[in-house]
A and B are shown apart, each in its own frame.
Chain A
Amino acid sequence: AQTVTQSQPEMSVQEAETVTLSCTYDTSESDYYLFWYKQPPSRQMILVIRQEAYKQQNATENRFSVNFQKAAKSFSLKISDSQLGDAAMYFCAYRSLPNSNFGNEKLTFGTGTRLTIIP
């Protein structure tokens, strides 16, 4: 079974600075998807960024970018120019390709990193 590990329960960053959240995962599959989701306090979970494992190029979405190291099974999220609205729980998630032999199309989440932005 796949597992996702987020080793930083909490992180803080000064407003306008850059922060990197860590995520590692374990899988025997060669192709899969990876995601970062953001869950603000008492609000719904929203997608931040996604990465297809077959793509070597790291995904970017405005101030958010990933460092995807497939061999190391590492998928970190970098937030540049941090803003107060970035304060949230951030979850790293893994999912298999659809209709793979493993048959699991669910998302497997890490335990999350709580990000605090210091004004």
Chain B
Amino acid sequence: DTGVSQDPRHKITKRGQNVTFRCDPISEHNRLYWYRQTLGQGPEFLTYFQNEAQLEKSRLLSDRFSAERPKGSFSTLEIQRTEQGDSAMYLCASVDSSETQYFGPGTRLLVL
């Protein structure tokens, strides 16, 4: 499968715990995006990378959130000290040369 993959697909955690999600983009895509989608809403931009450089972060990305893309390939999104308001679907997308974003299946997070 050459699409965008995300792991895990589902995560249930207790409030205050740390969680980390992984995204593997399509291999030839050098730009990678993270979005958050809450129930009944469209995805909202969190951050994006060009290769290993994090070029923009949304105000939604509080200091409890950190994202990395150490070698310009896969990316991780970590949430520290999770809160119930962090419950959402976290989507990753990579971009091809035509500026089209291809989305992964998402990681659904539930914070109890």
Q: Which residues of A pack against B, CB within 8 Å?
A: 4, 33, 35, 37, 43-47, 50, 91, 93, 95, 97-98, 103-112
> Which residues of chain B have C-beta atoms less than 8 A from A111's C-beta?
40-42
B80: shortest Cβ distance to chain A, in Å?
23
B96: shortest Cβ distance to chain A, in Å?
10
Assess whether A106 is in contact with B48, with CB atoms less than 8 Å apart.
yes
Assess whether B43 is in contact with A107, with CB atoms less than 8 Å apart.
yes
> Which residues of chain A have C-beta atoms less than 8 A from B44's C-beta?
109
Task: From B11-19, B20-28, B64-72, B97-105, give the one contacting chain A.
Answer: B97-105
Please name the residue on chain A nearest to B43 by beta carbon: A109
B25: shortest Cβ distance to chain A, in Å?
14
Cβ contacts B45-87/A at 8 Å (1 or 0 each): 1001000000010100000000000000000000000000000
Assess whether A112 is in contact with B41, with CB atoms less than 8 Å apart.
yes
Please name the residue on chain B nearest to A91 by beta carbon: B42
B70: shortest Cβ distance to chain A, in Å?
21
Knowing A95-B99, A105-B48 are in contact, say whether A44-B42 is a contact too (CB < 8 A): no
> Which residues of chain B have C-beta atoms less than 8 A from A97's C-beta?
99
> Which residues of chain B have C-beta atoms less than 8 A from A106's C-beta?
33, 45, 48, 56, 58
